[in-house]
Amino acid sequence: MEKRLAACVNIFPRTTTMYYWKGDIRDATEILLLVRTRTSLVHRLVAYIKAVHPYDIPEIISFPIDDGSQHYLKWMDDAVTDI
């Protein structure tokens, strides 16, 4: 948030995750983040997350926003910087 790469972040604490890692099925307690940003900032956001995240391969998935409340989308656009 302080780097202005995200307009809003929802934090879903203590989710249980099962996944394949190095040939084994693993499970972990994780925190899921839902981050809203501009498409033009996704690559910078991904680079930042990878730099600070403890996992070798953090789950980072981008979904495009096709439509929505124009007031919300303008707020989101104003909330992040595209420098």
For residue 62 the two structure tokens come to 């981008």
DSSP state of 65: -
Full pLDDT tens readout for the chain, 83 residues: 888 999 999 999 999 999 999 999 999 999 999 999 999 999 999 999 999 999 999 999 999 888 999 999 999 999 998 76
8-79 — its CATH code?
A: 3.30.70.120
How many degrees, rounded to 5, is the angle at CA 29 between CA 23 and CA 35?
100
Contact 33, 10 (CB under 8 A): yes
Provide CB contacts within 8 A for 20, sequence distance 6+.
26
